[in-house]
Amino acid sequence: MLNEDKHKRIEIWTGNQAIAEGVAVSRPEVISAYPITPSTDIIQDLSDFVESGKIDGEYIGVESEHAAMAGCVGASAAGARTFTATASQGLLYMMEMVYIAGFTRLPMTMTVVNRSLFGGWNIWLDHQDLYSMRDTGWIQLVAKNNQEAHDLIPQSFKVSEDHEVYVPSAVNIDGFVLSHVAGQVEPLDQRMVDDFLPKFEPYFKLDPLDPVSFGALTLPGEYTRLRYEHYDALNRSRDKIRKVTAEFAEITGRDWGRLVEVYGPEHADVGVISMGTIAEETEEAIDLLNSKGIGSFGATRIRAFRPFPVDEIIDASKRYGKIIVIDRGFSFGSDSPMVSEVRNVLYKIKSDTPVISLIMGIGGAETPYTQIAANIEKLIKEDN
């Protein structure tokens, strides 16, 4: 399909298709994966791409998600550009190997199609699986629509494979709301991606002709040093993400922000912080609230949950009179994950900006902008 106004090719893709096509133009060398709803279409498409020759790489069909990540660990350690995808219970099943991939700093990319976790059984959207990865040592990026999902794949490979960072990345997309809903996507051009994303040059690799130890017993002093180096690498990745997204915006004209995306007035009485597709609905809610004349409202969308956008949250606290944080998940026995992160940042700078928690969209509950606006209005009245 050709968009005659902009003279650009436009496809109608689901979020899963957008991910698979983004992986294809990134030229992966190994895909190791096991299907699970709602990520299955990604795996099916990539299997077809390898079979047809569209992807010149290896597809490893495995017996479980744990084995899928084990395959990724082996492939990445051997110096291959590596990809997988999963969701929900599948992510939990592979979690032992997710930690190994993170703590051994293997620069693969994985898409997590966000879906609620068991208790009771539910296949719909929330971010509990996303939050389960926050201490695994992975970069965690979150798309708000199908186009951004497509664009994030080569960006995540580029950030992860940079020798100053060299940690794995997870690209999160909301289950069903993005994964199975079709929308307009401008496909990435293969030649452009080839220029943008250079061939993977591993910092180290396992080679039977040059044997080394990998994953050997680590004594306390060395283990501590490795953890601090990993901590520093995630901190360095903030600037690398900013640089790569700016470079991508310059090439494509699509600027999604850096670690966050700001919407609405520069300064506002209330700022709403959110993540994923609920952030797009929040933009509509902000417009509705601003039209009512009950105050000024702005929004900040978090694109990178790890590394957490510390500087940008500090900036938000200076621009907004009070902050409402929308979470799509819980931290049982404490405050919800994202509101805790925001409060932690502001505590360090002794900010007196109030931070209010709002939990919405659990287990696939709908989050239309009208409901978001109503909840924000209610919270403001209760807080006054």
Domain boundaries, the chain: 2-252, 260-383
- Give the pLDDT of residue 266: 87
Strand 30-33 relative to strand 58-61: parallel, antiparallel, unpaired? parallel
User: 7: pLDDT confidence band, cut at 50, 70 and 90?
Assistant: low
2-252 and 260-383 share one CATH topology?
Answer: yes
- Give the pLDDT of residue 2: 37
CA angle (229, 234, 236) in 5-degree steps: 90
The C-alpha atoms of residue 238 and residue 230 are separated, in whole angstroms, by 13
pLDDT digits (tens, 9 = 90+) for 62-110: 999 999 999 999 999 999 999 999 999 999 999 999 999 999 999 999 9
- 2-252 is classed in which CATH architecture? 3-Layer(aba) Sandwich (3.40)
pLDDT digits (tens, 9 = 90+) for 23-49: 999 999 999 999 999 999 999 999 999
Q: Could you please state the CATH topology (level 3) that the domain comprising 260-383 is classified under.
A: Rossmann fold (3.40.50)
Percent of the chain with pLDDT over 70: 98
- Give the pLDDT of residue 6: 54
CA angle (236, 78, 114) in 5-degree steps: 60
The C-alpha atoms of residue 252 and residue 167 are separated, in whole angstroms, by 25
The C-alpha atoms of residue 35 and residue 44 are separated, in whole angstroms, by 8
Query: Which of 130, 48, 149 minimizes the C-alpha distance to 87?
Result: 130
The phi and psi torsions of 295 (rounded to 5 degrees) equal 140, 180
- Position 1 pLDDT exceeds 60: no
- Position 335 pLDDT exceeds 50: yes
Sign of the Cα pseudo-torsion (308, 133, 166, 252, in order): negative
